Amino acid sequence: MSGERVRRLVHSAEVAAPAEAVYALLANAVRGPLYSPQVLHVERMDADGDRERLRLWEQSGGGVRCSLWARVAHPGERRIEFWRLRGEAPFTSMAGQWTVEERPGGRSVVSVLHEFTVAGDPEGAEAARAALAVEDSARSALRGVRRIAQGSGGSRQRVLTFQESLRVEGPGEVVYDFLYRAADWAGRVPQVRHVEVSEVSPGIQAVNYRLRLPDRTERATNSLRLCFPHAGRIVYKQTTPWAPVAAHTGEWSVLPDEHGVRVIAEHTVLLDEDALPDGGPALPGRENTRSSDASTRPSPGGIQPWSQGDAGRSEDGAAHVLAGAGESGGRPRPDPVPRSGRGQEPSAGQGPGPGSGGGVREAIGQASRAILEQAGRHAESAVRALPRR
């Protein structure tokens, strides 16, 4: 950084939650997309004790950018250092740290420090825009951390994690192709009323769609999807979630086995309790689908996207706000995956309304099950269409 002006920005927020709970939230990198609006997805490249490297995808200037980060956690000090592994315009360097300090009465103060350099004139317009992007991202992330940590009884009561799965006797490539071609869902999946898909860059899709909910109302929303065809995965984040959902991330996975494939839809949903009727129910931290033929999902490794380089580069400096967030070990997986059988889809109008925690779970789960069913039928019909020998 010699010869360049190092800018230093510190942002803090008081949180009505214990310091250990706030630190634990920051120490889970994959949860970062729940509290940082620009961040779409985070994956751990490798880890060694309290050190790890992360690959992070974020919205940036109308596109999607992928960046690489390293971090070192200091649990005893409730501090997490982070730095970008290579400079990306307009930043020539970026580093910082998260800290969480205990306060009386079960409260805490969380702070994020950024130290960065910018190419060109340090007093110019580009440097000013870069600093503003850092400030906006930091404040947005702090608001999200505070919102989750201050949930009744802790953050686990505000986050729903659940899965739907289906075993398909057909080729995984055909199943994946159905999931990838979301533009074809309207008219084939009853809950999907309308879909528009555009390709932001190779392997990155912007999906605008309208869903029919169990109470027969319809909601429009947008998602960005990252496609990993060789790993049989599509991860996504809703960029315009509908109340009471504050954030929603998910993944479609196609896992081959000796009998065909298991197709899994995973969801992590952050609820805005203020938007629930009468403050909403006390929600459990994890909720599983109907239990039957449970099995444990393996954790994939060595995943590479179609495009992870220059897509959507801009002056946005959003990714740094959660580069200090991670957890030890491999990529975390939800609870064991049960099987959703054919013909078990609830009819419209059953269950709680979408304005409750259970209603959110049912609305999302019902749409997922319908898409899984259609993917299975698509693959199995392809097998039946093959010429017999």
What residue spans of the chain are helical by DSSP H?
19-26, 32-35, 125-149, 172-180, 357-384
Residue with the two structure tokens 């929600």: 283
Cα–Cα distances in angstroms (integers) from residue 200 to residues 125, 191, 215, 250, 344, in the given order:
28, 25, 33, 19, 36
pTM reported for the whole predicted model? 0.76
Q: Concatenate the DSSP letters of all residues of 316-327 into one string.
A: ---GGGGTT---
Pairing state of beta strands 260-271 and 159-168?
antiparallel
Mean pLDDT of all residues in 159-180: 93
Between 61-65, 266-270, 331-335, the lowest mean confidence (pLDDT) is in: 331-335
Say how far apart CA 356 and CA 225 lie, in whole Å: 26
Q: Which of 55-59, 177-181, 274-278 is predicted with the least confidence, judged by mean pLDDT? A: 274-278
Q: Judging by DSSP bridges, how do beta strands 107-118 and 7-15 pair with one another?
A: antiparallel
Most confident of 62-66, 133-137, 222-226, 271-275: 222-226
Banded pLDDT at 37 (limits 50, 70, 90): confident
Token duo for residue 75: 């649990």
Which tokens go with 84?
A: 């970008």
Pull the structure tokens for residue 132.
């503003």
Give φ, ψ of 369 to 5 degrees: -65, -40
Q: Which of 68-82, 201-215, 265-279, 361-375 has the highest mean pLDDT?
A: 68-82
Does residue 323 register a pLDDT over 80? no
- Which residue type is seen at 284? P
Please provide the size of the chain in residues: 389
pLDDT band at 268 (very low <50, low <70, confident <90, very high): very high
Find all residues with CB under 8 Å of 358, minimum gap 6, and list them: 281, 351, 352
Q: Report the alpha-carbon distance of residue 335 to residue 345 in Å, rounded.
A: 21
Q: What tokens does 146 get?
A: 């505070």
What is the rounded CA–CA span in Å between residue 163 and residue 372?
12
Which pair of structure tokens corresponds to residue 26? 């920051």
* Residue 287: C-alpha distances to residues 193, 198, 210, 228, 272 (Å): 27, 33, 25, 27, 17
Q: What are residue 171's phi and psi, to 5 degrees?
A: -70, 135
Confidence band for 211, pLDDT divided at 50, 70 and 90: confident
Tens of pLDDT, residue by residue over 328-379, are: 333 433 333 333 333 333 223 334 444 556 678 888 888 899 999 999 999 9
Q: Which of 31-45, 89-103, 166-180, 290-304 has the lowest mean pLDDT?
A: 290-304
Q: Averaged over 133-139, what is the pLDDT? A: 92
pLDDT tens-digit map of 224-252: 999 999 999 999 999 998 888 889 999 99
Query: Mean pLDDT, the chain, as a whole number?
Result: 78
With cut-offs at 50, 70 and 90, classify the pLDDT of residue 153: very low
Q: Hey, what are 194's tokens? A: 């309308």
Taking CA atoms, 80 is separated from 96, 296, 322, 349, in Å, by 8, 31, 10, 47
